Amino acid sequence: MTPERYQKLLHWMEAHPAVRTAVIALNRWLPAVPFVCYPLLLVLLNVQWFRLLQVGLNQTALDFMQLIARAILVPGFVFFGGTVLRAKLNFPRPYEQPGFTPLVEKETHGHSFPSRHALSAAVLAMVWLYFYPAAGVAMVVVAAAICVLRVLAGVHFPRDVLAGAALGFALGYVGMWIF
C-alpha cells in the first residue's frame, strides 16, 4: 500500500470518527479472542479425554491424547516457524515509508512479513475447525477480521496479512488433517 493510498483511507476514517474508533479498538482487542479461546479449547479437549478415561475407553483415550498433543504442537511449530521466517526476511512495515502515518502508532521496525497476528489466528482457527467446526468457522471470521484490521491500522501491508493467513490456514490444515 502506498502512502498516498493509505492517507486517503486515513482521511476517510478521520471523517468517520465512529469507524476510526472501531478500527482502533478492534485492532487492539480482537486479536485477544483466538488467544483467550485457545486455552478454553484445550480445557474442553482435556475434559473429553478425562471422560474417555472414566468410562474405560483406554485406547480411544490414548488416540484422543495424541489429538490433544497435535492441537498443542501444530500451533506451536507454526508460530515458531513464522517468527523465524519473519526475522530472516525482515521486511519493512508500511509506516517505515516516508510520508506514511499509521492510524495506530507502533515502534517496531521490520519483521512485517508474514503477519504473526494473521498466522496465529489462522492456525488456531484450523485447530478449532478440527474439533468444533461451528466455533472454527467463527474463528476463521475473526482471523479474517484481524487481517483487515492490521492493514487498516497501518501496521502491515496486505501481502503481510495474506501470507500470514495463508501459511496459518495451510499449515494448520496439514498439521491437523494430514499428519
pLDDT in 10s for each residue of the chain, 179 residues: 789 999 999 999 999 999 999 999 999 999 999 999 999 999 999 999 989 888 888 888 889 999 999 999 999 999 999 999 999 999 999 999 998 989 999 889 999 999 999 999 999 999 999 999 999 999 999 999 999 999 999 999 999 999 999 999 999 999 999 98
Eight-state DSSP code of residue 104: S
DSSP string, 112-133: -SS-HHHHHHHHHHHHHHHH-H
Report how far residue 147's alpha carbon sits from residue 27's, in angstroms, rounded to the nearest whole number: 9
pLDDT digits (tens, 9 = 90+) for 14-31: 999 999 999 999 999 999
The CA-CA-CA angle for residues 167, 173, 176, to 5°, reads 130
Burial of 34 from C-beta contacts in 10 A (0-12 / 13-18 / 19+): buried
53-79, pLDDT tens digit by residue?
A: 888 888 888 899 999 999 999 999 999
Comparing CA positions, the residue from 107, 83, 111, 113 lying closest to residue 95 is 107
**C-alpha torsion sign, points 10, 142, 39, 127:** negative
Distance between start and end Cα atoms, the chain: 37
Architecture of domain 3-178 in CATH?
A: Up-down Bundle (1.20)
Q: How far apart are CA 162 and CA 166, in angstroms?
A: 6
Cell of 54: 472414566
Q: pTM, whole model, 2 decimals? A: 0.94
Distance in angstroms (rounded) separating the CA atoms of residues 43 and 45 = 5
